[in-house]
Structures are given as structure tokens and as C-alpha cells.
Amino acid sequence: MYEAEINRKNQTAFVFLVDQSGSMDLPFGGTPGKKKKDGVADALNRLLQTLVFRCAKGDVIHDRYYIGVIGYGDSVGSGWGGALAGQTLVPVSQMANNPLRIETRTRKADDGAGGLVEETIRFPVWFEAVAKGRTKMCEALRLACGAVEDFVKNCPTCFPPIVINISDGAATDGDPEPEAAALRAIASQDGNVLLFNIHISSLNERPIQFPISDALLPSDDYAQRLYRMSSPLPSVLIEQAQATEIDIRDGARGFVFNGDLVSVIQFLDIGTRVQTAY
């Protein structure tokens, strides 16, 4: 399973659930000067641009992916703004053509002589950093469930959709495990929907990435619950991650606990690194 080719006639979907509760206004652990809401928004916008690049051939963006962003905090709903406002899943070409804005940013780059040089880049922004309200994770999972179920009905042979939940706290609207189980139970002919979880922290502690057992996690209920909610990584993602020398073993779950900005970026890349074809 998890072998379906992704192409223009057999797309897949990526859905990102982003915690926008008030605690996301706190500092990002291990990243001085960066708030969690800003670090997550930057990482997600960078990944969205990467997904566009993966579907580009010349000047044409081929719709091999549908992308969804759901924010949950003071309210729960579509994380898109501007021309995409109110929509849940959108074709990647539609997303590519409708950023909220293009920012000019600077970054350090290799100067070819062992040093670094500052260069200016254009940075598309689709998702805004927000931090307000409580952590309505259960409602966000239900909304994702409806969107993914409709997608699979319309594309029954697809590579199963991947849902990535990013949060810094426990759900405040009930137990999210039944909602997570319902989401994972949705299946295409190629396998069940994959649900991955990233817990981000204000603490300067070592992230626990892709555990193969809950024995590797703190004994508190929150860490154990997120582990149980997370799907095992299919072999195709493990193999592609191992090819880049990232240490992931068979049986690993799509879960990061106490994630810093670096581990969030790595996880988002690994969680969406599936083979595609034109």
C-alpha cells in the first residue's frame, strides 16, 4: 500500500491543521527572538512554496496536489485569506496564483569561497500568524475529516491524503483521540489517511522525533495521546528520509514532541515527501 502514483489524473491532498490559540504568542523553544506563531507560519509558507515547485514544469503548475489549511483558536475554519478565503482544499495551481502578498526578505547564502553573503529573496505569504483563544483541536480534526472524506470519494485511487497537525497544547474542546481515529479510518484504494502530529514547545529541550515506542516519551497523558493519534510512517516516506541521512527506523510514527523550528521544518518536508509524476 501507499504505492499509488501521484499525477494530474490521480492527485493527493495535504491538509495542515495549525494551532492559533493564545499560547502560540509565546517564544519558540530553541529559537531566540521568534514566537511560535511566527515560526510556524514561516515554516508552513516555505513548505507551500516547495509544494508549488514540485508541481511546476516550466511556467505551468500542474494540479497534482490539493492543499488545505485549517486554523484553530478563537475560531476554527479555513486558514486561507484573500481570494482563497473560506475554502478548505484548493488545487495547488490556484494556491500558487493567489498568495496574500509577496514579501522581500534576506537570507544568508554560501558565497562559494567558504563564507556567507546576504541575498534578497521573494517570499510568498499564504498563511498569516495568529494567536488568540483556546485550542479547539477536536473541531479542527472534524473539519479535516469532512474535507478529506469528500476528496477520497472524488479520487478513490489516490495516494492517501496526509494531514499534519501542529500544536503547542492539549485540546480544550474534548478528547481528540476519537476524532483522530475517525480521520485515520478514511481510506482510498491505496491505504488509510495519514495523520501526523507536531508538538512545539517554549522549552529549550531536545526534540523527540519519529519515536518507535511511547516508552521514549514523557509519561504525561498529553505526549502519550499525541503518539497514539499519529500514524506510522509508511515505508515510502521512511526510505526517502533515510536517503537524505535522516535517522528514521521502521515502525516510526509521524510525531515530533518538544519540536523546535528546525525539527518542524524537517518534519514538514519529510511528511510531504512523496514521489510524484507528470
Q: What are phi and psi of 115, to 5 degrees?
A: -120, -175
What are the pLDDT digits (tens) for 90-120? 999 999 999 999 999 887 777 677 777 788 8
What are the pLDDT digits (tens) for 203-233? 777 899 999 999 989 888 899 999 999 999 9
Alpha helix (H) residue ranges in the chain: 36-54, 92-96, 137-154, 177-185, 221-229, 235-242, 261-271
Per DSSP, the three-state class of 35 is: strand
Residue range 12-99+126-271 forms a domain whose CATH class is alpha beta
| Residue 81 amino acid letter | G
Q: Provide mean pLDDT across the span 171-189.
A: 97
Output the pLDDT for position 261: 87
What Cα–Cα distance (Å) separates residue 222 from each residue in 164, 175, 207, 243?
Answer: 17, 10, 15, 32
Q: At what angle do helices 261-271 and 235-242 cross, to 10 degrees?
A: 120
What are the pLDDT digits (tens) for 114-166? 777 788 889 999 999 999 999 999 999 999 999 999 999 999 999 999 999 99
Contact criterion met (CB below 8 Å) for 136 and 172: yes
Best CA proximity match to 91, nearest among 77, 100, 80: 80
Q: At what angle do helices 137-154 and 177-185 cross, to 10 degrees?
A: 10
Domain ranges of the chain: 12-99+126-271
Contact criterion met (CB below 8 Å) for 203 and 31: no
